[in-house]
């Protein structure tokens, strides 16, 4: 009887240890995310304030100075660039809100994934190469385009080398030889507003991968991330379930 009770007590202690470790991990995650609250506010403020200041500066110069037509055109192009940037920021915030609130209904159709990836790559940079097979899938073409655009843009941002988009019958991967991601950050990079480079301001607000994950979830897919610090990253998602049958909507 004594031996039985001891065994039971040991099992109870082991279970408590597991629960404690689980709580520690959750607390660590919450602590990390809480530390980013101020940075999130700073990011949003900076991303909107900076282009607005630039736009106002150019408009004031045009209104209050005598400029030749070439200079005016140059300034107007700068204004256009920054208004586009603001529009993209607003679009991203609106999209992530709709995705989180499950208010976006995907429109499924058949389309060629290879051709779609090729078109996006050509519109972004000559440093992107699409390789692999012609694959036809059944999904929301516009949303998959957003996924690919975000993944490729991300890869270009963190890598000066060529970015490879590899398509097989089973999956699609975006591969770069950039900075790579620290192992402890991989669990957080798909969180909304999470930014790896804390002071490297861009027009993403840390929403790109969060949007990707939400869109893939609508297709019953999951983002797979492999990365090694200083060597590069690989972002993949399987496409087998999108071929030859219609996925079940969530």
DSSP string computed for the chain? -HHHHHHHHHHHHHHHHHHHHHHHHHHHHHHHHHHTHHHHHHHHHHHHHHHHHHHHHHHHHHHHS---HHHHHHHHHHHHHHHHHHHHHHHHHHHHHHHHTT------EEEEHHHHHHHHHHHH-TTEEEEE---EEEE-HHHHHHHHHHHHHHHHHH-SS-EEEEE-SSEEEEEE-SS---GGGTTTTTSTT--SSTT---SSTT-HHHHHHHHHHHTT---EEEEETTTEEEEEEE-GGGSSSPPPP-
pLDDT at position 8 is 73
Q: Structural domain boundaries of the chain?
A: 109-242
Residue 48 has pLDDT above 90, yes or no: no
pLDDT at position 165 is 95
Q: What is the CATH number of domain 109-242?
A: 3.30.565.10
- The pLDDT tens digits for 153-167 are 988 988 888 999 999
- The pLDDT tens digits for 164-214 are 999 999 999 999 988 887 777 777 777 766 665 544 444 456 778 889 999
pTM listed for this prediction: 0.69
């Amino acid at each position: 009887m004594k031996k039985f009770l001891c065994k039971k007590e040991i099992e109870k202690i082991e279970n408590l240890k597991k629960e404690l470790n689980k709580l520690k991990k959750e607390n660590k995650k919450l602590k990390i995310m809480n530390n980013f609250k101020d940075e999130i506010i700073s990011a949003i403020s900076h991303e909107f304030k900076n282009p607005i200041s630039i736009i106002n500066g150019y408009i004031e110069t045009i209104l209050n100075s005598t400029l030749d037509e070439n200079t005016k055109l140059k300034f107007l192009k700068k204004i256009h660039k920054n208004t586009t940037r603001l529009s993209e920021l607003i679009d991203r915030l609106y999209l992530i809100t709709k995705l989180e609130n499950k208010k976006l209904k995907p429109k499924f159709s058949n389309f060629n994934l290879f051709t779609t990836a090729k078109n996006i790559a050509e519109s972004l940079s000559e440093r992107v190469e699409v390789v692999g097979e012609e694959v036809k899938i059944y999904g929301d073409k516009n949303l998959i385009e957003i996924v690919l655009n975000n993944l490729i843009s991300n890869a270009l941002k963190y890598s000066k080398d060529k970015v490879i988009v590899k398509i097989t019958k089973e999956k699609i991967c975006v591969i770069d030889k950039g900075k790579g991601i620290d192992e402890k950050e991989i669990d957080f990079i798909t969180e909304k507003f999470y930014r790896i480079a804390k002071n490297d301001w861009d027009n993403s607000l840390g929403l790109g991968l969060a949007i990707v994950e939400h869109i893939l979830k609508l297709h019953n897919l999951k983002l797979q991330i492999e990365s090694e610090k200083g060597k590069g990253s690989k972002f993949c998602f399987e496409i087998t379930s999108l071929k030859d049958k219609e996925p079940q909507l969530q």
